[in-house]
Amino acid sequence: MLSRRMLIAGGFCAGTAGLTLPVPPSRAENGTSAEEWARKLVAAARSQIGVTLLYDSSYSKLAFPGGDVPRFKGVCTDVIVRAYRDGLNLDLQALVHADMRNAFTAYPKNWGLKATDRNIDHRRVPNLQTFLKRQNAEQPVGADGHSYRAGDIVTQMLPGNKPHIAIVSDTLNNDSSGPLLIHNIGWGTRMEDILFAFSITGHYRYNGQTP
């Protein structure tokens, strides 16, 4: 049985106590339709709710390309990877691996690796942040919830300096001040009001276009 507080193992992303928040009826952010790529990305992320039920940060040997752990489990980065594969036919496992091979020194050395590891590189939040920055996908980090659009990627720092990552949904919170996030923070994939619950370390908008 999962503990009330999930901690990162092997440098994926951190989980903390499961958050259960009310989800209001679906409505488009700011009353407008998202771009087609964003709608597909959000739909693919939302489809993981009720499917991925566990948080499991165990290191796994994966197929390449298209490798994944069983969908009933995963970490926060897996929500992102699966959404891009299912929604946009973009394989972040292959894309991050290729970019790391071309520019290995540009990526964090948090784990003491001397070469790429296609089993886990794309499942680490700092690596995804670096990849997105290198794709010119970085957006301003602000305090206005409406500046975060459906399909955007947000990274956060949880207590204990544990990195986290989520996808911005097309659904506003109860007071319409900002969107809910789709993520796995410890109890499977959920859509919750946590945009400003933790310190935001990055804001990205990536539809697969090259710089």
Question: What confidence tens digit (pLDDT) does each residue in 73-131 have?
Answer: 999 999 999 999 999 999 999 999 999 999 999 999 999 989 999 999 999 999 999 99
**CATH at residue 124:** 3.90.1720.10
Q: Is residue 136 part of a domain?
A: yes
CA–CA distance, 43 with 187 (Å, rounded to integer): 20
pTM, 2 dp: 0.86
Q: Are 190 and 51 in contact (CB under 8 A)?
A: no
Q: Is residue 15 part of a domain?
A: no
Per the structure, how many domains does the chain have?
Answer: 1
User: Which residues are bridge partners to 200 per DSSP?
Assistant: 156
Give the pairing type, strands 189-192 and 162-172: unpaired
Which tens digit of pLDDT belongs to each residue from 5-41? Answer: 333 333 455 544 333 333 333 333 433 446 999 999 9
